Amino acid sequence: MDIIASLPVYAAVALLSYTLYGAIWRLYFSPVAKFPGPRLAALSFWYEFYYDVVKGGAYVFQIEKMHQIYGPIVRINPYELHINDTDLDFLSKLYPSIGKEVDKFWWSAGMFGNTEMTFGTIGHNLHKMRRAAFAKFLSPAYIRKLEPLLKDLVSSMITKIEAGLKEGRTINLVHAYSALTQDVITEYCFSFSRKCLEKENFAPHYYEWMQIHCTFTPIIKQLPWLLPMLNKLPDWWVKRTDDAVWLIRMQEAEYLAQVRAVMSGDDKDKTSHITIFHEILNEPLLPPSEKTEMRMKAEATSLVGAGTLTSAHMLSLTTYFVLSNHEIHKKLSDELGVAMPDPASSPSQQVFESLPYLNAVLDEGLRLSYGSMHRLSRSHPKDTLQYRDWIIPPGTPVGYSAYTLHRNPEVFPEPEKFKPERWLNLAPADRQHLRAHLNNFGRGSRQCVGMRLAYAELYLTLGYLFRRLGSKVQLQDTEYERDVAFLQDYFIPAPSRQSKGVRVVMKLDASEATT
């Protein structure tokens, strides 16, 4: 009886000993114990939990403060390092394109709910196999083939915006741009789009679904068991008790239906053009285990989400800065007027790629929109890395954040300002060196597979919109800090919760504007 009565005490002592042992190991004996950083961050993930979950996507700003205190390399949790530096040589070593095995950090890989999608794949070789199944579809050659489709979608968006303006309505460009990018990526994925451009107010609920999904990423990363548990709850319960989870569930049900249509061959428009999912399912090197419904649904969630939000955010932010600065607006309009004399014409992406000022505006928009605001951590399972005087052991997760890289004043003086001229009048080598500091799409073997598609969207949208509507629109009730600035890191950057979007109305003198 005495032994039985003492069991709770023994259990408590064992738990306390284990906890203390873990804390001592993390503080003094782990592979990253020697690196500088806050002791609380070294002890557990709860330090990050506080900033990302309690304070809402704020850890990236705390990491920025850590660098100001501890230097260019800091330990940000018990296992992971973060670097804030302009050393492009080390950046290339951390994110190599070929010749090295590079894994994703297991802890952050499942932040969108699973590691079945290519984006969340941990191991190097599995990621390589999954990516190869559809990467060629997003190559420059394939995108050129489908450029007419992209042009039509951009023109449809502009036509609908103009119709709304003529009716005296306020247009939320965040919703318009996300409708465009959703229609593009769903067309590329399935050969039939969501047709958001045809829906009332550009179907803003789809954009809201994706934003809500992103806000869950810090919680999922910290509590990976939470989403599987929620997925076991019946639909009627979720619908009555949690609107956010219900929205996510409806979106995933839609992805599953689209994937099943492709897999069954029932998608009616299957032969109109090749699609990402037909490419994956027809890839002979992928085993059947890689072509299951659940993995295809995960891939759809990843591709549609990434293909929608990053480009829509960049276009919204860039449009705001152009419309809010008369000098920038005029220079861009003048250049587009020469390159595109007839506003109703539809020049190719190649035409816009040759325009210096448009390129400067585009690069500055990329710089301040970040792509992903979150750090992109990689580990080299077989190789030791050397950063300055620091030796980084094999398997140690190390990351850069586009947020800190793009705001480094050594590379980008006055980093808070939107200054297209910083990209102008540079020798080709100097401009390429400056562009090498942009990390919107990541780099190396895990660089964003949709980068070329994103560039096509950006060039055509900015070119057509500012040539056709630039003289007709003005901002309406849009404030930078409230509506535009990215103040929360949910992997994808997000503006404040009070944001109303980038809103425009018809200029008062637009009826007198000439083209």
The answer to whether 448 is annotated as binding is yes
Both tokens assigned to 2: 């005495």
d(CA 69, CA 51): 18
Question: Kindly report the CA angle at 510 between 507 and 514, in degrees rounded to 5?
Answer: 145
Q: Which of 329, 337, 335, 328 is nearest to 355 (CA)?
A: 335
Determine contact, residues 75/37, Cβ cutoff 8 Å.
yes
The string of DSSP letters for 142-211 reads: HHHHTHHHHHHHHHHHHHHHHHHHHTT--EEHHHHHHHHHHHHHHHHHHSS---GGGSGGG-HHHHHHHH
**Which residues fall within 8 angstroms of residue 363, CB to CB, at 6 or more apart?**
420, 423, 435, 438
**Which residues fall within 8 angstroms of residue 296, CB to CB, at 6 or more apart?**
259, 262, 263, 277, 280, 281
Write the CA distances from 77 to 61, 225, 251, 405, 473, integer angstroms: 15, 20, 33, 20, 47
Is 297 in a helix, a strand, or coil?
helix
Q: Which of 110, 114, 116, 113 is nearest to 130 (CA)?
A: 116
Q: Considering all CA atoms of the chain, what is the largest pairwise distance in Å, rounded to the nearest integer?
A: 95
Strand-pair category, 492-494 with 488-490: antiparallel
d(CA 340, CA 218): 45
d(CA 22, CA 14): 12
Token pair 């619908």 is at which residue?
239
Q: At what angle do helices 173-190 and 243-264 cross, to 10 degrees?
A: 30
Q: How many residues does the chain have?
A: 515
Could you tell me which residues are annotated as the binding site?
Answer: 448
Known binding-site residues for heme equal 448
